Chain A
Amino acid sequence: MTEEVISTGSTKNQVSGSYPQPAVKKKRSLPGNPDPEADVIALSPKTLMATNRFLCEICGKGFQRDQNLQLHRRGHNLPWKLKQRSSKEVRKRVYVCPEKGCVHHHPSRALGDLTGIKKHFCRKHGEKKWKCEKCSKRYAVQSDWKAHSKTCGTKEYKCECGTIFSRRDSFVTHRAYCDALAEETARVKAASHVENHAGHVNYQFSLGPNMGQHFSSIFEPISCNSQKINDPMTRGISLWNMSKQTPLSQETLCKNLQEMHQMGISVSSLGAIYSCTDPLFNPCPSNPPAPTTTYQLNWDFAKSLNSSKAADDQLSCNSLPLNNINVKDVGNHQLAGSVPSLFSTQHQSHHQSSAANMSATALLQKAAQIGATTTDPSLVGNFGLKCTEIPVQNAVTTGLGSDFSAFNQLQMYPSMRHHIQNQDNIREGETRDFLGVGIQSICHPSSINGWI
């Protein structure tokens, strides 16, 4: 399609108007909005389908255009002559599609280019004779097929998580399940959920488009080697050292976790944000041990439970934390979405205790403020109980490692953290409790300090 045909009296191109536009490309209008002054030509299907009318005498090769034939003749050392365009004005020609019922059949929707109308006719109304070997896609126009064959199978698809695929179908399927997919629409739901929360939840972050950006910027480089997350996150991690775990906070945590689940964010990917170097939480598909180890933690967790709840409740609760949580509806998405952004945006407004803990404290408090209020005591209240009893026995043996694994447990319930701060109880001098869940025995003081 040539631009000149389209940019005629059509109103679509009156963009510039009277004021200078910054280098705006002329928009193409819909194909088939021809110059009203042009001649309308109706070619027969036979003519349209005919290809290669211009034949070379020497080798018999056919060409669609005379110009191409002339250029070809040079190769045979034959005299060639390119016809000049006649200087006098030529009436513009537009072509209609002979197929009745086709949108381009009517002169008002004629196409302006001969090649264009030919291709259109073949593509839409012709038989698809050309087939790609690799993917069996069919084409009516040979040039389309050729163009496709060049790129078929060579294209590599890269998911946001960093994995590369050579097959489109595996790429598409992976993407649907991949946690690294940026969640832009979360903020839309977020906005709708704001009103539902009363009380001490402090929506200091903007819920507008910025939030989405914050959100996605937090989430996007979810792969473990993302550097930009590390900074706020490390501070975020230190938050966990604060205060004692209370049952109420656990509920909040669990509820927030549930919301995050509904957001489609896997807890393990959250873990990745907070502990990028922790192999246990690498959501990248290329890291085999991750799910198993994470599971093992769950399993150990389950084993350690001595709650009175029925065995299968325990198990289901632990292998898939949200099993017995009432799944709230869409409205809950919002705050879950807000969680990650907490750590990058919330430092400022809250001041607490000692200067040494300022950033960590502030962060945590902010987190608590932003985090969802607990209005649903039924929500895994038992779960909260369980959370306090994590004596994580796990595969990771180093001090820091075991902190991590205990860490992991809590990471699954980020809302716990929020509520820790919510309680406003940053007790100085308290043993740095990684989880804030009373598992002081596990924590290695030196390694914890390494985090702060």
Chain B
Amino acid sequence: MDRTNSISSKEAAFLHVTNPQNNGIHLEMQGTNCRQPQESNITGLRSPDSGENSDGKWASRLLIECATAMSEKDSTKIHHLLWMLNELASPYGDCDQKLAFYFLQSLFCKATDSGQRCYKTLISVAEKSHSFDSVRKLILKFQEVSPWTTFGHVASNGAMLEALEGENKLHIIDISNTLCTQWPTLLEALATRNDETPHLKLTVVVTTSIVESVMKEITPRMEKFARLMGVPFEFRVMNGLNFLGELTKDSLGVQDDEAIAVNCIGALKRVDVEERRAFIQMIQSLRPKVVTVVEEEADFSSSRNDFVKCFEECLRFYTIYFDMLEESFAPTSNERLMLERECSRSIVSVLACDDEVDHGGDSERRERGSQWSVKLREAFVPVRYSDDVVDDVNALLRRYRTGWSLVLPAGADDVGLYLTWKEEPVVWASVWKP
């Protein structure tokens, strides 16, 4: 069968699939016709006319089809689409193939009700495959090629330094997932201040075991670095928490004479949805001078009862993320592969795990900046970023490849800064005070 026919029959497959009149037989026949172009896809090479419909975005179409079929419980369709996705997907191919691969995994888990098991497996695989060296290399490389994380760091550090100006005893409570890469530049800034270098106590809160083991390596390094910078420094890692929701004021050991800053980078989304307000209250009880909040801009939480909607949002977000990764790293980058793999856990967690059932990890239900603002306003007041900090962030973005920009929020009520990739807001950073 020549290719054109295959394509059109594949197209036809789509059309047939959406028509509830069709029974399985037709679909099977169409399926076999599709085999040819798909085989070339499996090798990871993009052949010009295989699977290439008008805009080439076959992955999102198929995936959403499948998600819809799942919500409609159309098992024939589900099977067929899963099969097709399986044929087309690959973690080593182009963005479409990768998205297909990782989302297929969660669709499959959802269909077979094995999300929790899959998540646990993914966690243990990650634990085994990560060492301090690999993780360190990964995050440093990522920060070198993409401002995804450094954006939040620069904005938060700048805001913190301004808010803590003049204080002698600083206590920063760090609830983040960036393995202390935020702090060397802050330590340097503290050391090069004109006036006296303040004493800094840094308490790092960790939950996942991967980070726990890495922190053991990071502790001496941070201490050594602070010594070299000449900053009086005290470093403490708080582990032993199963969930961020368990964090309490008492366990943090804050003292009255300290100027407290709470740094939440990707932290709020890790708290179970129902416990988020309480968590924010807990932060308030620490009486911080400043709270910096950085979150990825996506909404996996308001739609959590609507599978298709949640699926679409998840797909939208990770499409941008994968695209960003592809353009930021070299084509054969190991690091990019590892970062993509990291996504599989969050995708499975969001799409295939039932929140009520404990899957032994942090939540991954992101919310948009505007949603977080509503919650944060209950306890705090937003702070505008100063011009200096905005300039610093702009200067940071200039150091990376094009495609990135900084956007100040539009509405009068909107808070914070957005990092955008190809005009799409991807990371939100904000500052709050009591």
Contact = CB atoms under 8 A, between A and B. Distances in A.
A172 B184 contact: yes
A185 B134 contact: no
Interface in A165-199: 167, 169-170, 172-177, 181, 183, 185
Interface in B85-109: none
B127 A172 contact: no
B150 A291 contact: no
B134 A299 contact: no
A181 B224 contact: yes
B132 interface: yes
Tell me the interface secondary structure of chain A in the complex: helix
Interface in A287-328: 288, 290-292, 294-295, 298-299, 302, 312, 315-316, 319-320, 322-323, 327
B391 A131 contact: yes
A135 B127 contact: no
A140 B346 CA distance: 48
Q: How large is the interface on B (under 10, 10 to 19, 20 to 34, 35 or more residues)?
A: 35 or more
A319 B395 contact: no
A263 interface: yes
B221 interface: yes
Contacts of A449: none
Nearest to B133: A291
B128 interface: yes
B133 A181 contact: no
Contacts of B398: 134
B57 interface: no
A136 interface: yes
B170 to A, nearest CB: 18
A285 interface: yes
Given A175-B184, A176-B183, A319 B130 contact: yes
A174 B181 CA distance: 9
Interface in A242-291: 261-264, 266, 268, 285, 288, 290-291
Nearest to A268: B133
Contact of B216 (A261, A263, A292): A261
B222 interface: yes
A140 to B, nearest CB: 14
A312 B394 CA distance: 44
Contacts of B140: 170, 173-174, 177, 285
B378 interface: no
B137 interface: yes
Tell me the interface secondary structure of chain B in the complex: helix
B190 to A, nearest CB: 12
Contacts of B220: 261-264
Contacts of A264: 220-221, 223-224
A264 B140 CA distance: 18
B134 A295 contact: yes
B228 interface: yes
B427 to A, nearest CB: 17
A264 B223 CA distance: 9
Contacts of A319: 127-131, 213
Contacts of A320: 131-132, 213-214, 216-217
B61 to A, nearest CB: 35
Interface residues of A, number: 41
Interface in B388-418: 388, 391-392, 394-396, 398-399
B183 A299 contact: no
Contacts of B214: 320
B43 interface: no
Contact of A181 (B128, B228, B394, B399): B228
B225 interface: yes
Contacts of A294: 131, 133
A262 B221 CA distance: 9
Nearest to B213: A320
Contact of A261 (B187, B217, B225): B217
Contact of B221 (A176, A290, A315, A323): A176
A446 B216 CA distance: 39
Nearest to B400: A167
B313 to A, nearest CB: 32
A138 interface: yes
Contacts of B128: 299, 302, 315, 319
Contact of A298 (B131, B223, B228): B131
Contacts of B228: 181
A172 B130 CA distance: 24
Contacts of B177: none
A135 B392 CA distance: 7
Interface string B132-151: 11101100100110000010
B188 interface: yes
A349 B133 CA distance: 37
A295 B399 contact: no
A172 B185 contact: yes
Contacts of B133: 266, 268, 290-291, 294-295
Contact of A316 (B143, B144, B184, B209): B209
Contacts of B130: 295, 319
Contact of B394 (A136, A174, A185): A136
B334 interface: yes
Contact of A291 (B137, B143, B396, B399): B137
Interface in B125-181: 127-134, 136-137, 140, 143-144, 150, 154, 181
A136 B394 CA distance: 8
Contacts of B384: none
A239 B133 CA distance: 27
B3 interface: no
B134 A136 contact: no
8 contacts: A134-B395, A135-B395, A172-B188, A175-B225, A176-B225, A181-B228, A315-B128, A320-B132
Interface of B: 124, 127-134, 136-137, 140, 143-144, 150, 154, 181, 183-185, 187-188, 209, 213-214, 216-218, 220-225, 227-228, 334, 388, 391-392, 394-396, 398-399
* Minimum-distance CB pairs A-B, first 6: A264-B220, A136-B391, A176-B184, A291-B134, A291-B133, A176-B225
Interface of A: 131, 134-136, 138, 167, 169-170, 172-177, 181, 183, 185, 261-264, 266, 268, 285, 288, 290-292, 294-295, 298-299, 302, 312, 315-316, 319-320, 322-323, 327
Given A169-B185, A176-B221, A294-B131, 7 more contacts: A138-B391, A172-B184, A176-B184, A177-B140, A295-B130, A295-B133, A316-B213
